[in-house]
Structure formats: C-alpha cells, structure tokens
Structure 1
Amino acid sequence: MTSFSAAAPSPRARTTALDLGDFVTASPSSFHAVRESARRLAAAGFTELDETARWEAGDVAGDRYVLRDGSLIAWSAPEGAEAATPWRVVGSHTDSPALKLKPNPELGAEGLAQVGVEIYGGPLLNSWLDRELRLAGRLALADGTTVLVETPGILRIPQLAVHLDRAVNQDGLRLDPQRHLQPILGLGDTDVLELLAVRAGVAAEDVVGFDVVTVDSQPPALFGAHEEFLASGRLDNLSSVHAELQALIAVAAEDRAADPAPIALMVANDHEEVGSASRSGAGGPFLEDVLVRMHAALGGDEASRRQALASSMVLSADAGHAAHPNYPERHDPVTRPRLGDGPMLKINAQQRYATDAVGIAAFVAACESAGVPHQTFVSNNAMPCGSTIGPITATRLGMTTVDVGLTLLSMHSAREMCATADPLLLQQACTAFLRG
C-alpha cells in the first residue's frame, strides 16, 4: 500500500487551490476578473460606490468597492475610522500576457479563416501553439454601454509539422509574431466580430470597439503524485488577486472595533504587463483618487492626508520565479525559492521591487503572526529583473511598500504552475498584513 507523502496538501490548502481555479475560470480577461471579484465582494456584504458620485462620510464607512474598467479597489473601514486612520493596502494586477485581437481582425489564407492578433505583454509564444483558444473581453456599443463577452475554444495556432521543419529540434523554434501567430478560426469566410456579438447577445452593427484577448481553454487542474501542484492559465497574477480578495473578505468579517485598526484596502490594477501607464493601471491616478476622496469624506485635509499616507503601508503581491530544476544556472546560486515553501519577499538592488528593510520586517511579522513560512527571491546578477506595481505605487503615494509573491514555474506560459499549498499561505499572509 502506498504511503501518503508529507508533500500532499492539506484539505484546506486543496480547497483554496480549487477555489483559485474557479476564480481563474470565471476571469478570462481583466474585465471578467473585476466582475467576479465584485460578485464575491457583494456576496460578502460589500457595497459598490459610484466613482462619479459625491462621497460623504457614510459612503466610505464600512465595506465598499469601486470599479474602473479592468481595475478594482475595495476596502473595509473599521468602526471609528477617521482622517488620521492609516491604510493597510494589498495590491496586485488583473491582466496577464496574451494575444490581443487587432482592429479589422478578419484574415484568411489557403481556404481558412484566421484572426489578426498582436502580442500583449511578454508571453512565452510557443506555449500558445496547438491549444484550443477562447476569446474574452469587452465590447463597446454605439449607445456608450459595454458588455462582457467570452467564447468557448474556437481558435488554434497550429505549429508547422516537423516534416516541414526538420531542424526545429536542433536549431530551436523561431516564431515571427506577424506571420506565425495568427490563429485559425474556421473554414471559408467567418466573421469573428459577428461571433462575438452573438455570444454577447448584441447586434454586430452596434459594436463600435472592443478589448478582447485570447485565453487557453483548458481548465485549471491539480496534478502530481499527490495533487501537490496546480496547473492553470493566468496564475500571474490572478493568484495574487484571489489571495488578496479572500483576505479582505476575511478581515471585513472580523470584529475590529475593540482596538485601533487600519483601513484594510485592496487594489487590483489592469495593464501591469504592458507598463501600468493607463487610467486603470498602477501608473494612473485610480488609487490616489480613491484615497484622496475617502480621506476628504472622513473630514481630513491635505496635511492630515499626507500624515496618514506616511503611516500607511502597501504589500504588492505578484507571482515570482521558483528555482527551475532543469535550469539551475539561471537562478541565484544561494537564494533559491521553492514551490510549496510559502510566499517570497522579492528584493532587487535597482528598486525593480520596492522592498526595503522596513517592509521586510512588516511582512515577516505578518507571516509569523499567521504561522506562514516565507522565503526570499533575488535575481541572478546576469539576468535582468522584472518589476511590479510596487515601485510605481510607492513612487506615486510615498507609502512604505514591500513586494512579495507566490512561486511559479512556467511564468508567462499559457499554462503556469504553482504548489497546491501556496495559494492558502499567501492568502493567510495577506490577511495578517491587512490586520496591521
């Protein structure tokens, strides 16, 4: 009889990982991720605020959320919150690398209908080959409204057969983004915009704009000898959005009136994968707008707002690299984060991550409070380092910021993987951090 390994995830960790899979499935685009987050918040008793309305003190009290395109901000203000109350912020991003539908997307050759796409972010291009792909995003209509849309797996980018590229396994696969990545949609003439309109329940002639991306159609799944791994698309960075969302819901359900408590707030920005420079990205004004308006509604002025910001703190959560067993030389020789060992602090001397000693201490304290193991990530000196919303948020608002993340393999693939145990550990660390 086979013994049950210590590597097997706990029932609670397994349940959390499966719930993350459900969250990813419901979030094929950043707009869907915001809708699913809002649905979960509303079910937990949060109330939506209209960004275009005037906010009074009663509007920002308690549990609230605000939407802007593919971004969301939600908070739980404790009883007695005032202008001097600091914020504890957890931040992440809703977008993932993909292929994005071009304007005038109808293409065709050799009797096959194709779809014109361009690259969004920095995907591993080869991972998008030979997969059935969905389309998901939003359609803008002539009357000024928008509708969300998603399709089943209707696209595929077929790889050239080895018989027609005999050297591919020796010389490596080389993909021209313009020539080799246009998906096949059907036989003969097929209008992709007509298909999207039908799926959305609107007239094709009413569609005047769209933000639509490709999505792998394979659902998330647990795998491994003891189901100790989760495979899924968009773990970068829906794993962080999910952890922070569930952490905020958990904190909002607690009685925090007895002791002074911060305003617990989460922000999930769009467009991180393409630089964050948009009205709903971390480089835009969304978070600052909400904090300024919230603080004013609580009776504060600019001086007291600056005081509150100075005593506030941000945890920026974005997935990071686990040490790869087949490419050990690509990682730092000493600091080698592993799957299943808990969330990691992300540190970079060039401030590509915003973590400093003060932030490290705060995150370590949160992990120890929650009983969560933690580890550290630093890049190999010969490998350029990525970045997150952390440095951007710290620069815009001046709040102490620490960058952390779940460990992944296959980052920016159409299908990434993490340890089944890690989503729960990140969620528990975020919960403790929000408590302050």
Structure 2
Amino acid sequence: MGEALRVDPTSFEFRHNSIAMYQRLLREQPVCELENGSVLLCRHADVSRALTDLDAFRRPYEWSMANKPEGPFREFGRNNMIAMNPPDNTRYRRAMARAFAPRRIAQMTTDIQTTCDMLIDRMAETSECDFIRDFALPLPVAIICQMLGIPIEDQHHFAEWSATILAGMEISSSATEKAAAETATTALFDYLAAIAETRRKDAGDDLISTLVEAADAEKLRRDEVVWGAITLLIAGHETTTHLLGNGMLALIRNPDQMQLLRARPDLTQNAVEEFLRYDPSVYVLFREAATDVTFDSVPISKGTLLVLSLAAANRDPLVFTDPDRLDITRPNAKAHLSFGAGFHLCLGQAVARVEARIAFETLLRRVGSIGLIHEPTPRDGLMFKGNHTMPVSYRMAA
C-alpha cells in the first residue's frame, strides 16, 4: 500500500486538523492504510461505492460491539438501526419510514417556523448569545421531541443524554465517557419505555405511537420500539444542531456568501446543501469488507475495517470545482455524501433539510448582522463534528 503517510485518525493532531489532512490524503494517498490495519477511503467514488454496494460492504457490527461495555449502552449499539445490516435494518427502516411520510413532514413546517421565531424573539432581547445553546440546539430538540410526543417540560433532559451517548460512541472515547454513556442510555431507555407503554394504551399522532403501531407488522420487539425511538431522538437533533452551527459559522467566515444569501433568499435550499458538503456534522462512517475488494489497485482483504471519510469525499476535486471554497450557488452541491447514500440514506434527511432551510431563511431575514465574539469551542472527536459553544454578537434587522 505504499508508505508515504502515517495516519492515526484518533490522534489529537488529526482530530483537530482533519480537513488539512484530508486535503493532503486526496492529493497523495486517497486509499490509506492506517496503523491499526484498517483502511481510510477519501475519494467520493470510493466512499460512495462502499456505502451503496451492500454485497461487498457491511456495517461492522462485531467491531462496534467490541468497543462498548456490557449493558444498555452496548445494547443500543446492537439495536441501533444506523449500525445494522439487513434483514434487521430492513425491519427497522420499514417501521420508521412511516414516521417520515411526506404528509407528516409537511405538517411540521408550521411548528418549525413557530419555534424559530420564538427562539429569535428571545435573541432579540439582547445583542449577544451562544448560537449553539440558544438556537442551533433548542430548535431541533424541540422539533424531534414534538414529533415523538415528549412533553415540553421534559425536553431539557434529552440534549444532555444524547450528547453524552455520542461522546461515548467516539472511537477515541475514554473509559469515563463510556461509563457516562452507559448511565445516560439507561436513563433515556427507561424514560422512553414508559412513554411507549403509555402509547400502547392510548395512541396519539406521534412517532412513538407510530412505532408501537408498526411493531406487529414489522415484528419489532417491545425493547426494539424503544431503541428505535432513541435512534430517532439522537439522530433527529444532534446532526441538525451542527448543520445549523457549522452553516452559520461558514457564513460568518465567508461574508460575501452571507451577503449573497441575504440578497437572494431563493438560494437558501442550495445553501443548505453547500453547508452539508462544506462542513458535515458526521465526518466518518465505518464499513467492513464482506469479500476481497480492490480500490485504486490496492487489494483489501475480507474483514478489513474501512473508515469512510465523508468530509474528504465532499471536497474531492474530481467531483467539486474549487472544493475548499464555500459557494452557495454551487450547481452540484447536493452531490455530497453527508446523509450517506443508497439503501442506508438517512431516513431523517428530509426533516433536517426543511429545518435548516426555514432556520436560515428566518435568521437572515430577522437578524441584520452577526459575528463571532471569540472562536467557538469545537467538539473533540473523529466522527461527529461541530461546536459545543459559539458566542456571537448581532443586531436585529430594522
């Protein structure tokens, strides 16, 4: 495989400067053997192939289990649809697809707009805020909790629980972070199990009721209904939070694009796709070679763990012209792989797109200017990217 680059994606240096490393890998070694024997794929075509060829590439179920202690946190890994292969994945997807029917998504637009306006009304009471804490996080938390039928007075628990679980899922997570994830998973499971039991007796028009009603048809166990709800809750707000945060940060750092989007709100949907391409919430996914395969004349043995860099694929110059530049008019921005691809395309991608479109349309209409007070505090991980804090100052539009 050649020796040019020695790469450790779990290292501090890589995690905190990954875009620069991906740029170099795309130029010099897009198929890169890592020190632990796994292989990092960076090119758009290679990552897309690994995501869509279900016969040659599988989700690394046993590997993901080996990195978790016994208990509810490990069980979430076992029963998390995102980590499953068919046929179990197929059962879950059929049940959850009912929750994301176009009719239901269309009904959500009023709730999204109302929540956006409420959060911006609060912002208008001052001239500074933490954009993550005060907008990018509470918006998707409120929306997914409304979709699941979770009482508003309980919503404050979920951001902390899900953030703790995701920190434990990072391949660089410590024993302490895994233990905290175990505690959070237990609390979240018990809470949602109680709600699911209530919905069995008195169903409503919410996603947990939908999962409960779909359980018999799709042969989901009672605990699987709860694991499905947990997957929806975590995936339904964490990635959207960082889509909003990363997108706003990209605009602040590219004021010409901010000015263009203010002048051309009709570009908002394409701008959302460009934000997803430019700085995705999920930087890497994992697959396992189900058979012997070859990438770029490099032989890869069956059973090899593959690290798929969505962030690198989204900046592949073979697909995107001037890929390191934010361009909200980019004609093929939607060719990004930030939601995965093929059979495993993210089920909630339509909701995330609607939330982000409405959020940026509303923010740029109501907030006249916005800038950083100081640099954001970034997440410390390989898989999930975004910022814990993002202090901004602003003035409201006249």
Q: TM-score, normalised by structure 1?
A: 0.23
- Between Structure 1 and Structure 2, the one with more strand by share is 1
- Between Structure 1 and Structure 2, the one with more helix by share is 2
Mark the structure with the bigger radius of gyration. Answer: 1
Q: TM-score, normalised by structure 2?
A: 0.25
